[in-house]
Amino acid sequence: MIYSRKVFFYETDAQGIVHHSNYPRYFEEARGYFLEKNGLPYEKVRDELKLDVVLLELIVKYKKFLKFGDIFYIKMYPKVLNKYFFKFEYILTNQNNNIICTGETKHCFVKKENKKMLSIPKEFLRIIEQNTIR
């Protein structure tokens, strides 16, 4: 799945380029898009399933930069690590297909009321299986 959008002016810094702190936000937007497009939006996870998705690790490797008005694309690759943990790998490119940065996030699910970690729900395992590159 690919998420894309245009860089807004407020995301840039004094040098006119996207501030480094925005790339993790872009990853989060892409995750939300991924879940929504696969029938499991955050609202359903939180309100119907009574779960929260917790971010445990974040890695970003910067290679180039974006600037105001650039269009970018994020390719996401979900992966189950074990019965409790899963991750997403990201490749963010610009409109010329140059790699701007890569990243990874590691997550788990917790019960909303007590924050106790639980195994990955079947609904989510199905979505990851459907989106795994073979």
Q: Is 47 a catalytic residue?
A: no
Residue 68's SS3 state is coil
* Residue tagged active-site, from 13, 47, 52, 70: 13
- Supply 88's token pair: 């997403």
CB 48 within 8 A of CB 90: no
> How far is residue 4 from each of residues 7, 29, 43, 71, 73, measured CA to CA in Å?
10, 10, 22, 7, 4
Sole residue written with tokens 């940065």: 101
Just list the catalytic residues: 13
